[in-house]
Amino acid sequence: MTAETMVCAICGSAVQPGAARRLSDLTPATRAMLLQEQPALAPSAIICGDDIARSRRQHLERLLENERGALGRLDKEVLDSLQSGLPVATEPDADWGEDRTFGEKAADALSRFAGSWTFIIGFSVVLGLWMALNVTGLLFGVFDPYPFILLNLVLSSIAALQAPVIMMSQRRQEEKDRLRSENDYKVNLKAELEIRHLHDKIDLHLMRQWEQLAMIQRMQIELLEETTREGRN
């Protein structure tokens, strides 16, 4: 078969020799999918890469649907990536943080600072100073006598503001975790499907080898029979 006559048996488009396969060289599942579409395909029919990818996707779609019911958004993304050959994995941290608004950046910075030893030690020093100054009356005189009502007001105001800021930051963290786990799910599913495909390919290869071996053996037996017959005559 020359390069000019290579035409896909499914869509009829001209194909490059490297991008096409014979029907008989495809894994059984992909072959069954193509035969279901066009039952009259010969084993030597040339199939283009796009049609192979499409039928493989159909096979995987059915496989996943049979195993788990309806397909989700993530499953579809994995199937798209298998069909197109593009990587499915993204780096959630890479595009995270670039498009943060000023408020989100401030919330992140504040909650980071509020959860640090610097904040705890610094705040303890301020509290200690406030109480010491008011007990001793040094520097500013007693502006908040024992039991420090003003300090109570300041502390509860800080606590009231701190809680929503921390919640804001936590919500963003959860969103980030969700993106990460989605990414993990997609990568794992794709790897699982690719490994299954590799298994099918290896099985096909072993079967071919076995057939070839049987054929060689048959030829050897025929040769032996011929030589013994010649020897007798």
Which residues are at the interface with Zn ion (CB under 5 A)? 8, 10-11, 48, 51
Scanning the structure block, which residue is given the tokens 């032996």? 224
DSSP state, 25? Answer: G
Nearer to Zn ion, 48 or 82 (CB): 48
Q: Are 7 and 15 in contact (CB under 8 A)?
A: yes
β-bridge mates for residue 33, sequence order? none
> Considering the complex, what minimum distance in angstroms separates the CB of residue 71 from Zn ion?
25
> Considering the complex, what minimum distance in angstroms separates the CB of residue 7 from Zn ion?
9
> Considering the complex, what minimum distance in angstroms separates the CB of residue 26 from Zn ion?
13
> Considering the complex, what minimum distance in angstroms separates the CB of residue 180 from Zn ion?
38
Query: Hey, is 22 helix, strand or coil?
Result: strand
Nearer to Zn ion, 52 or 88 (CB): 52
Q: How far apart are the first and last CA of the chain?
A: 45
Nearer to Zn ion, 10 or 189 (CB): 10
> Considering the complex, what minimum distance in angstroms separates the CB of residue 17 from Zn ion?
14
Q: Rounded to whole angstroms, what are the CA distances from 43 to 6, 17, 29, 124, 201?
A: 15, 17, 14, 81, 17
> Considering the complex, what minimum distance in angstroms separates the CB of residue 21 from Zn ion?
11
Nearer to Zn ion, 13 or 156 (CB): 13
Under 8 Å CB-to-CB from 142, ≥6 apart: which residues?
134
Nearer to Zn ion, 14 or 132 (CB): 14
Which helix (DSSP H) or strand (DSSP E) does residue 53 occupy?
Answer: helix 49-68
Q: Are 74 and 182 in contact (CB under 8 A)?
A: yes
Cα–Cα nearest to 146, from 154, 135, 156, 137? 135
Nearer to Zn ion, 8 or 33 (CB): 8
